[in-house]
Amino acid sequence: MENPYLKMQVEVASPVERVVLLYDKAVLLLKEALEALDEGDVPKKANAIAKADKIIRVLNASLDMENGGEVAKALRQFYDHLLDMLVVANGKNDRELLSTAIEMLETVKSAWEEIK
C-alpha cells in the first residue's frame, strides 16, 4: 500500500532531506531485524536486512565520485563497510553487529541533518 503522505514528503524534500529519509528507513529496518531476531523470526530478519542493504546500495550508487572529493570517498568506504557488516550479521544472526550498524548509520545521519 502506498503512503500518500510519505510520497509527498519525498517529492518536496531537498536532496539532503531525501538522504536523511533513506537513513531513517535503513535504521528502522535494522531495528526491525533486531526485533525479528528476538522473536526467532529468521525470514523476517533476513527480509528487513535485505531491504536495508538495498537502501545502502542506492546511497552508495548515488555518490558522485568525480566531483565528491574526499567526502564521496569516505562515504563509499562507509557504505561498503556497512554492506559487509550486514552480510555477516545476517549470516550469523549477530545482534551486536546489527546494533553497531544502526549506531553508525545514526551517527552519519546526524551529520547529514546538520547540513539541512
The DSSP annotation for 71-100 comes to HHHHHHHHHHHHHHHHHHHHHHT-HHHHHH
CATH number, domain containing residue 36: 1.20.120.340
Instruction: Tell me the per-residue pLDDT of 70-112, one tens digit each, with 9 for 90 and over.
Output: 999 999 999 999 999 999 999 999 999 999 999 999 999 999 9
pLDDT of residue 51: 98
Is residue 1 predicted with pLDDT exceeding 70?
no
Residue 44 lies in a domain: yes
Instruction: Tell me the per-residue pLDDT of 7-30, one tens digit each, with 9 for 90 and over.
Output: 667 677 798 999 999 999 999 999
pLDDT of residue 11: 72
Residue 116 lies in a domain: no
Residue 91 lies in a domain: yes
Rounded Cα distance, 21 and 6, in Å: 10
Residues near 34 by Cβ (< 8 Å), separated by ≥ 6?
Answer: 95, 98, 99, 102
Say how many domains are in the chain.
Answer: 1
Residue 92 lies in a domain: yes
C-alpha cell at 34: 533486531
Q: Is the distance from CB of 48 to CB of 30 less than 8 angstroms?
A: yes
Range of the domain at 22: 4-111
Residue 38 lies in a domain: yes
pLDDT of residue 96: 97
